[in-house]
A and B are shown apart, each in its own frame.
Chain A
Amino acid sequence: MRLLGLETRALTAGLIFSLGTLGAASSQAADTYTVGVEASFPPWAYVEGGEYKGIAIDAMEKIAEDQGLDIEFKDLPFPSLIPALSAEKIDILATGLTVTEQRAKVIDFTIPWWETNDVIVVPKDSDLNVFTAVCCGATVGVQGGSSQKAWMEANVTNSDIDVNLKSYDSYVTAITDMLNGRISAVDVDDTSAQEYINEGRPVKLAGKIFIRAPLALAVSKGDPQGLLAKLNQGIVNLAESGEWATIVHNYIPGVTVPSVPGKMPEYVDTYRKPVAGLPDLGN
C-alpha cells in the first residue's frame, strides 16, 4: 500500500513482527524450568563476555544435570527476583540469596549451601573502624532489598544509633558512590567484598558483623512445581561429590567452604522435619 507517497510495507511488517513476538512469548516449553538470577552480583552470578558465570550459575547447572532438570537462566535485577518468584514468573531463584524470616513467608528455601557474614567496607585511606563507620550521623550504603539492608534497619537505624541508610540497586554502585565521597561506608556480604578487593579496588574491610547468615536456593511458596526435594538432594550430592568445593574455589580461591547443609534457622517452615527430599534432616 502506498500512503503519502511512501511504502507502508515496512511498517506493516514491523507490526506483524511485534505481534509475532507477543505470541511466541507465551508458548514456552512446559518442562523447562526458569532459573532467576541477578547477573550483576559477582561472584554468585554475573555476565562476562556474553556468558553467565558465577558460583550459583555453575552449581545450578550441575544440580540440574544431576537431577535431570531442564533449566534456562533469566536475569532480573535483585529487587525484582523475589516478587518474580512469588508471581511464578521464575521457578527457581539461584543467586547469593540470604535466608531471612521475612523472605521465608513468601518463598520456600532449599537447605542452606553457604554461610556469609557481613562486612563494613570503607575506602582504603579511611581511618574509620567498624564502630566509627556505623555511627555519629554517618551514611551507610546497602543494596536495595538485600539482607544487609534488613539487618541494618532492624539492628542499627531502629536503635538510638544515628546512622542514615542509602539504598543502591547494586553493591557495586554503592561502593562507587562511597569512593566518590557521598557515603562513608558500605555494608555488604563478605564474599562479594572479598571479590571486590581481589580486583584491586581501593577499599578495605573496616570490620565484620558475625551474623552467620545462611544462603540457599528458593522456589515459589508451596513448591507448586515439586522442585524442592530434587534441589535439596542435588545440593547434598554436589557437596558430597566435592564438585561444590571445586566450583567455589574456582571463584574464591582459598576460601573455607562451610559444611552443607549449613545452619537451618527454625523460623523457616521448609526446614522443619522432615525436610523435602532429605527425610533425616530438619529441626
Chain B
Amino acid sequence: MDIYDVLLRDFPFLLKGLGVALVLLAALLALGFVIGLTICLIQLYGPRTRFVQWPLKVYERIFRGVPIIIMLFIFYYGLAGIFDISSFAAAILALGFRSGAYQSQIFRSAFQSIPAGQMTAARASGMTLTQAIRWILFPQAIRHAIGPWTNEFSSEIKETSLAYVIGVVELTRQAHYIITSTQGNVLTVFAVVALLYFIVNKAGNSGLYWLEARLAVPGFEKRQ
C-alpha cells in the first residue's frame, strides 16, 4: 500500500485528531478568556493593595515565562499525587491557564487604549464603577481586543500539537501513527497535517476579522 492510499484510508482519523485539537482549543480559549478578563479587570480597577496585585503579577509572570511543555508535565504528573487528572483535562488546564496570562495582557492594553476621560465622565454622570465598566469601557475594549486576540487564537491552535506528550491523541499524534506504522513518509504526512492546521488557522482568523468588521462602530474603527 503506498502512502497516499494509507493517507486516504486514515484521513478520518486525522480529522478525528483535528476534532480533538479543536475541542481542546475551544476549551482552553474559553478558560483563558474568563481568567484573562478577570485578571485584567482586577489589575486595572480592583483594589490597589499588594495582597491582591502581587499574586496576579506572579501568576502572569510564571505562566508567560515557563515553557508550555513543562507546564503540561507539571499538570499531568505533578498533580497526580493530589487528584487523578486525565490527559485531556491536564492539557486544558495547562494551556488554558497560560492563555489566561496572555489574554489578560491583551485585554489590559485594550482597556487602557480607551481615553481615561471616559471613565471620569461616566462616574461624574452618576454611574457606579461596575456600570461604567460594563456599559462604557467593556463594549469598546472588547472590540479593540479582537485584533490582538486573533494572534492568541493562531498561536494556541499550534500549541495544542504539544499535548501529545501527555497522551492527548490529537492531530499530530495521529500523524505519528501513520508515520510509524508505515515506517517513514515524514514529509508527506506532516505536509498534509500542516495543511490542516493552516486551513483551521485561516478559517479562524477570517471569522475573527469578519466579527471585528461586523461589530465595528462607525467612527471608532481601529483598522482602516
Contact = CB atoms under 8 A, between A and B. Distances in A.
Determine the interface band of chain B, counting residues with CB < 8 A from chain A.
35 or more
A197 B23 CA distance: 39
B30 A89 contact: no
B86 A11 contact: no
A40 B176 contact: yes
A195 interface: yes
Contacts of A25: 85-86, 88-89
A85 to B, nearest CB: 11
The binding surface of chain B is classed by DSSP as helix
Given A39-B177, A46-B177, A173-B186, A4 B142 contact: yes
B216 to A, nearest CB: 11
B12 A50 contact: yes
A17 B182 CA distance: 36
Nearest to B96: A18
Interface residues of A, number: 42
A276 to B, nearest CB: 25
B166 A80 contact: yes
Interface string B164-198: 11110100011011011111101000000000000
Given A83-B77, A84-B77, A76 B166 contact: yes
Contact of B183 (A6, A47, A74, A172): A172
Interface in B127-149: 139, 142-143
Contacts of A74: 87, 167
Interface string A15-53: 101100110011010000000000111100011111001
B183 A201 contact: yes
25 contacts: A4-B139, A4-B215, A14-B26, A14-B27, A14-B30, A18-B27, A18-B31, A18-B92, A22-B89, A25-B85, A26-B89, A39-B177, A42-B180, A42-B181, A46-B181, A47-B181, A49-B9, A76-B167, A77-B164, A77-B167, A89-B80, A170-B176, A196-B183, A199-B182, A199-B183
Interface of A: 4-6, 11, 14-15, 17-18, 21-22, 25-26, 28, 39-42, 46-50, 53, 74-77, 80, 83-84, 87-89, 170, 172-173, 175-176, 195-196, 199, 201
